A and B are shown apart, each in its own frame.
Chain A
Amino acid sequence: MTVGSSVQGDPVAERREPIQVRGEVLARRRVGAYQLVEITAGGIAERFRPGQFVALSVGGPASALLLRRSFAVYRATPVGAFSGTVQIVVGVHGRGTEWLAGVRPGEPLDVVGPLGRPFRLPAAPTGCLLVGGGYGSAPLFSLAEALRARECRVDFLLGAGSQDRLFGELEAKRTAGAVAVCTDDGSVGRRGTVADALPDEIERTGAAAVYACGPMAMLRAVGAVAASYGLPCQVAVEESMACGIGVCMTCVLPVVGEDGVTRMSRSCVDGPVFDHDRVRWDDVGTVPADALGAIS
């Protein structure tokens, strides 16, 4: 946990505290059904670790959209030709993302980040299978770099509804060992879901750990397959958030703690990365009767 000034005097922890910066759109381009937006955000890229996210204000200064939109960071580039930048992948779901998908270079953007707990990395070189659904694969590429830096073998399994909703296939093929692709409609790769394809990929790659990011139903299914092979699986969840920093309590899901007690945990500060086996998938969207403080 790095939020809060309980870290004062601890330089490493202080560097990891989230910050709020007035950034600017540097570039935007279409990638399939999505928009890739690069934002100058000095200080955030330097603090970033794979799996973390940023929370953006949307709609400009006179906006009636008050709440932040949270995005997994696809790529963070510390200071180079520009001040540090972060790249996010935007899929249009509503008015806020519609606005973001149309921003022009130079548009000011207020950015808070990096937020949330990052992926944990294996202590020793380990074969890792990275599973992404739709643009949920975005955070897996910086994770792959961090894993390779630790001499881990990295393979990818990417899936989506259709070809235009796949994200990062070419990049995965350039950088990873094996890359398997599947689509619900069969427009590219194997027909079916990533969970359908996962057993073959685990056996083919010999992976010893699974990382996954994408829609909740996908995460649930992928983790179940990984568990059937006895593999540890970390997932980065997508829950609706209002603030991204841990104060609004809207992004909760039932998670079992080290002490065996189920709590309604905030996916923004307790996640977004969770061990798959800690999340009570059957009970997401409810408050289980045995959760701490549930009304019995």
Chain B
Amino acid sequence: MTLATHPVKMTTDLAGAVLPNPVLTASGCAAAGRELQPFAPVSALGAVVTKSVTLRPRAGRPTPRMAETPSGMLNSIGLQNPGVDAFLAHDLPWLAEHDARAVVSIAGGSVAEYAELARRIAHAPALVAVEVNISCPNVESRGEVFACDPLAASRVLAAVRAEIPAVVPVLAKLSPDVTDVVAVARACADAGADGLTLVNTMLGLVIDPDTMRPVLGGVTGGLSGPAIMPVALRCVWQVHAALPSVPILGVGGIRTGLDALQFVLAGASAISVGTAVFGDPSAPVRVLAELETALGERGFTAVADAIGYAHRDPGVELVVPPPPAPATDPARPSAAAGARPSWRLGEEDLW
């Protein structure tokens, strides 16, 4: 791996949570961090986004819970988790002991349930942000998913925001399965969400050609992995364009530093590595190193300067890639050094 040509400041401010770097895990893809520790030390990550926790333990859905799809997977876990009591007793203390920062994902079936969960976790150790998983059926509205209804989503966010200390940001995790993601984003921000996590999985289906029935025990499942990355990136782009002051945690199919870079350029202040962890448990630390290199190679001295950079006006270039590193063998100058473009703009050309 080539090193960044100059150090890049990787600290990021995610809606008020100051993180040492912008690479996080994704909810449901890292449990509560412990299993990842041998491969990606939790203290080295921007934060660990924990698997959604519910008020009471949940056994989840029947197996099969997973089907591999081209460049992705479909899952139907059904929010299996030990419940908030066990989570507070075992998981958050472990993260705190290991110098990790926790973004705690909460899931509920009613506004009251979300509020109760928020109360329970509000002062927990290691907590740096709350992520509200609103891709859950609303038991008070015939099972309609909160994230698909701007009004229901905003009620949940307002209720959670009211229970969480002001210094701890609250993020709404939105579904891409909506006609107008900006409308839901705006409703959540207006209701008090400090930031947005974009996006959750997309609903999908796989049928087994041998049994001629759906593969998953839960019939439909959430599609994740690189297959959904362009959709996730489009959502980040649209929301950042419409609401540039609302911080975004970008997630959906990221498996390399260049994938992460695309999310940052589209407007994400931080990113989550999700499904890639299943195939490569050290992916988060690798993506972080690759992202730092990629930023340095493009002339950025801080990740903060790259957030939303793809939205700049035509003709505007605020950063200048550093010259290529000198060839290690002086007898054979590198082709790249010889081909350095003479038309490269200097800073004086811009302003």
Contact = CB atoms under 8 A, between A and B. Distances in A.
Interface in B39-98: 39, 41, 51, 56-66, 68, 70-73, 75, 77, 80-83, 94, 98
B205 to A, nearest CB: 17
A66 B64 contact: no
A20 B73 contact: no
Contacts of B37: 3-5
B22 interface: no
B35 interface: yes
A83 B28 CA distance: 35
A136 interface: no
Contacts of A65: 68
Give the most central of B37, B51, B82, B83: most A CB within 10 Å. Answer: B37
B59 A264 contact: yes
Given A110-B280, A249-B77, A293-B83, A239 B63 contact: yes
A245 B279 contact: no
Interface string A255-274: 00000000110000100000
Query: Which applies to chain A's interface (DSSP): helix, strand, loop or mixed?
Result: loop
B60 A287 contact: yes
Interface in A11-68: 17-20, 57, 64-68
Query: Which applies to chain B's interface (DSSP): helix, strand, loop or mixed?
Result: loop
B34 A3 contact: yes
Nearest to B63: A285
A18 B59 contact: no
B73 A6 contact: no
A240 interface: yes
B60 A67 contact: no
B58 A248 contact: no
Contacts of B276: 66
Given A18-B38, A247-B30, A294 B75 contact: no
Interface of B: 28-31, 34-39, 41, 51, 56-66, 68, 70-73, 75, 77, 80-83, 94, 98, 217, 225-226, 255, 275-282
The 5 closest A-B pairs by CB, nearest first: A293-B57, A250-B66, A293-B59, A246-B35, A243-B278
